[in-house]
Amino acid sequence: ACLSPLYHLSKLPKLCKLNSLHNPQSLPKNFKKMGKEDNQGEEYLFKIVLIGDSAVGKSNLLSRFSRDEFDTNSKATIGVEFQTQLVEIEGKEVKAQIWDTAGQERFRAVTSAYYRGAFGALIVYDITRSSTFESVKRWLQELNTHCDTAVAQMLVGNKCDLEDIRAVSVEEGKALAEEEGLFFMETSALDATNVDKAFEIVIREIFSNVSRKLLNSDAYKAQLSVNRVSLVNNSDGAQSSSCCSR
């Protein structure tokens, strides 16, 4: 069984109730996923990146969150892929555009450009492979090199359904998160444990950060507009992207 999510009090989203620390099942009721039929023009578009070594389960985390699916035959991501999920926060429509980046070293030069304009990141490791946990600081360094320091960040220990072959303890994950000032949560894309919660907390933190900045800066409103990613439908129905960097 996966441990309940762990948060930092210092990093707790302002829109998230304190009792969620002790009762992770009770996420705020004013956050909900929306179907395509609910889309009437999103008010916010937040780019979020999934990073971490190859085969830690990034693609399946994304599939579980966006489509409630799990692919037992999932193959390594080539380059960059993304999915979108509409959510509602405080009556506002938000489109979370979640980018799944390849973990292989040979794609680093290709994917680094896609960090630009990101508002949030989930740094994922596999609790059964200590080498993926040891790589977290390298991923954080790359993230911080290409992104603003205000990016909402969560450390995610995935595959917590494999408790019998665990190689990274919960305490180790928590200690690293505390050291780096991150949210921390263990998940299982296989059985969906904590997957929605992980994404929801990051999206809410982004919403909180953006709301604060919008109240205080007209320049930030212009920056938000510039950072939008325009989507173009190809003839085969697939989505291509044009990323407007900061």
Number of structural domains in the chain: 1
Residue 21, in any domain of the structure: no
In tens, the pLDDT along 67-106 reads 888 777 666 555 567 788 998 988 889 999 999 876 555 5
Is the pLDDT at 107 greater than 90? The verdict is no
CATH number, domain of 90, equals 3.40.50.300
CB contact at 8 A, 194 and 157: no
Name the percent of the chain lying above pLDDT 70. 61
- Give the Cα separation of 48 and 119 in Å (integer): 6
Residue 137, in any domain of the structure: yes
Residue 131, in any domain of the structure: yes
User: What Cα–Cα distance (Å) separates residue 23 from each residue in 4, 26, 88, 89, 189?
Assistant: 8, 6, 22, 20, 21
Residue 3, in any domain of the structure: no
Domain limits for position 147:
9-16+27-230+237-243
Mean pLDDT for 96-124 is 77
Residue 22, in any domain of the structure: no
pLDDT at 117: 87
Name the percent of the chain lying above pLDDT 90. 42
Residue 70, in any domain of the structure: yes
Residue 117, in any domain of the structure: yes
pTM for the whole structure: 0.72
Residue 196, in any domain of the structure: yes
pLDDT at 179: 95
Q: What mean pLDDT, rounded, does the chain reach?
A: 74
**Better-predicted residue by pLDDT, 7 or 105:** 105
